[in-house]
Amino acid sequence: MYNIDFTDCKRIMGKAYNGANGKKIAIEYNGKGYMLKFPPSAARKPTDLSYTNSCISEYIGSNIFNMIGIEAQETLLGTYMVNGKEKIVCACGDFTADGSVFYDFCSIKNTIIDSEHNGTGTELEDVLESIEKQSFVNPKELSDHFWNVFIVDAFLGNFDRHNGNWGFLVSRDGHDCRIAPVFDCGSCLLPQADEWVIKNVLENPDELNARVYNFPTSAIKLNDRKINYYDFIQSMQCEDCNEAVLRIVPRIDMNSICEFIDSVPYISELQKEFYKSYLGARYEMILEPVYEMLMKCDLTDEEDISFGPEMIMY
């Protein structure tokens, strides 16, 4: 298994990053720019496991997005020495290295001058209205992207996909704009779960079920309440969400994902088993049943069209 030590990498000055989860610095590795993410402070939860999980979640989550076919940032796992202590860190590829400028969706929402809502608001109706009214990219393309990411976040258990951690890349000359790669996946896969929680989830079906059916919830709100992934997707009341289920679920190859998790460095066999079980449960309980129901509905609709009175040939 490879081991990348980023300690002696050249620091790139003039770049700084916001966000609450851990320290971040800009480095150069193998001639490319990366944002190096450090795990959050362990002052409140001193276990080694809880201290490193967010970087592991970032790495696994970003790679799974790419495996499913949604462009995400390049990520590398490695180590960095801080005050004589080795920390597990995640290097995130700089997708603005070509001179593009990143604008988060919060900023884009603020350009909708006829909206009464501010950029940070995550009420679903408001977000969808802003997607429709923005003029940076094709609204249908952006809507599909939003729902595709929502479904993968449901699979990964992401509780923090807010308006500040997704958005657009605008070219240096301002003529071209495209949806930015997915990034900031550190809130996936129960990043604060320590060894006790992991064992409890693996051994107790009720503990696993709670983390599938009840939480984590989405950062997106419906009627001022954070959306419960299971309830919302199972309701099949949102056609755009249903279409995303039909697009995304066939791309989820659990065998390949499990093989990838087995290859992840720096984590124990217990952690690997936990990630595979957690993702398998979310796939089987949240996504797969809805996909199957939607496929049956589509088949029924096709039969109705094929054999309805209007299609009888005289």
pLDDT tens digits for range 17-63:
766 566 899 999 999 999 999 987 654 554 444 446 899 999 999 99
Longest dimension (CA), the chain: 85
Distance of alpha carbon 284 from alpha carbon 109, whole angstroms: 35
pLDDT tens digits for range 145-156:
999 999 999 999
Q: What pLDDT is recorded for position 101? A: 92
Q: What pLDDT is recorded for position 27? A: 95
Q: What pLDDT is recorded for position 312? A: 29
Q: Which residue has the tokens 């393309």?
A: 141
Positions in the chain short of pLDDT 50: 1, 43, 46-51, 304-314
Q: Which residue has the tokens 């124990």?
A: 268
Distance of alpha carbon 90 from alpha carbon 140, whole angstroms: 33
Q: Does domain 101-252 have CATH number 3.20.20.140?
A: no
Q: Which residue has the tokens 């801080």?
A: 82
SS3 285: helix
Residue-range domain boundaries for the chain: 101-252
Distance of alpha carbon 56 from alpha carbon 88, whole angstroms: 8
